[in-house]
């Protein structure tokens, strides 16, 4: 679909932003076509396109950032980067739903963290020789364990709160 911009219905009836800020949002979303959620429009271009001054466009952008509709990222001497949040959230939700549908179709496939290392043959620690000479067991560890000099007994939070109060009160 060419020459059309998809606008969220919530933005149309949003009374917290001014009409000029709404038009600025529409211009930013016009440049975020397809699956793009960000664009690089100059203030001067927006001012000419909307028939407003550069200072007014800056005020509109601040209003949109404050309303949580866009994120503005500075890029040094280049044009700022504007990210449309509602479109980004919508696309992420669609991707998550698609991933969930794909995962439910094939339950035999291990998910990330579930035995996904079995096919890994890059020589990492999982493929090391299990009978290496540095390996010890609980009865004979390869290092000497130091004795615990603090004798920590697993005291609860109440013990420390009481001790703290005693120090503060001087008793």
The pLDDT value given to residue 88: 76
C-alpha torsion angle, residues 83, 86, 87, 88 (rounded to 10): 60
pLDDT tens, residue by residue, 38-91: 889 999 999 999 999 999 999 999 999 998 888 899 888 888 899 888 877 777
DSSP H or E stretch at residue 83: strand 81-84
Give the separation between CA 108 and CA 104, rounded to whole angstroms.
10
User: Which architecture, in CATH terms, is 9-88?
Assistant: Orthogonal Bundle (1.10)
For residue 151, give Cα distances in angstroms to 38, 114, 143, 144, 164: 57, 38, 21, 18, 19
65 and 80 in contact (C-beta within 8 Å)?
A: no
Q: How far apart are alpha carbons 27 and 71 in whole angstroms?
A: 15
Q: Is 81 left (phi over 0), alpha (psi -120 to 50) or beta?
A: beta
CA–CA separation, 46 and 26 (whole Å): 11
Q: How far apart are CA 103 and CA 107, in angstroms?
A: 6
| Residue 48: predicted pLDDT | 96
Specify the DSSP element, H or E, that contains 89.
Answer: helix 85-105
For range 91-116, the mean pLDDT: 68
Domain positions in the chain? 9-88
The model's confidence at residue 95, banded by pLDDT at 50, 70 and 90, is confident
C-beta neighbour count of 57 within 10 angstroms: 24
Q: What is the pLDDT of residues 119-144, one digit of tens each?
A: 555 555 555 555 555 555 666 666 56
Average pLDDT value over all residues in the chain: 75
Q: State which of 8-12, 112-116, 123-127, 160-164 shows the largest mean pLDDT.
A: 8-12
Look at the pTM and tell me if it is higher than 0.75. no
26, burial (CB in 10 Å: exposed 0-12, middle 13-18, buried 19+): middle
Region class of 41: left (phi > 0), else alpha (psi between -120 and 50), else beta = beta
């Amino acid at each position: 679909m060419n020459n059309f911009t998809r606008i969220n219905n919530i933005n149309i009836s949003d009374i917290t932003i001014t009409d000029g800020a709404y038009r600025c949002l529409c211009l930013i979303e016009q440049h975020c076509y397809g699956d793009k959620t960000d664009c690089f429009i100059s203030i001067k271009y927006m001012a000419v396109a909307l028939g407003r001054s550069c200072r007014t466009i800056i005020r509109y952008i601040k209003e949109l950032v404050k309303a949580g509709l866009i994120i503005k990222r500075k890029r040094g001497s280049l044009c700022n980067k504007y990210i449309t949040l509602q479109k980004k959230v919508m696309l992420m939700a669609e991707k998550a739903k698609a991933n969930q549908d794909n995962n439910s179709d094939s339950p035999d496939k291990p998910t990330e963290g579930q035995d996904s290392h079995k096919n890994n043959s890059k020589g990492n620690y999982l493929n090391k020789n299990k009978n290496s000479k540095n390996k010890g067991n609980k009865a004979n560890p390869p290092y000497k364990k130091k004795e615990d000099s603090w004798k920590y007994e697993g005291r609860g939070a109440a013990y420390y709160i009481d001790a703290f109060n005693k120090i503060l009160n001087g008793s």
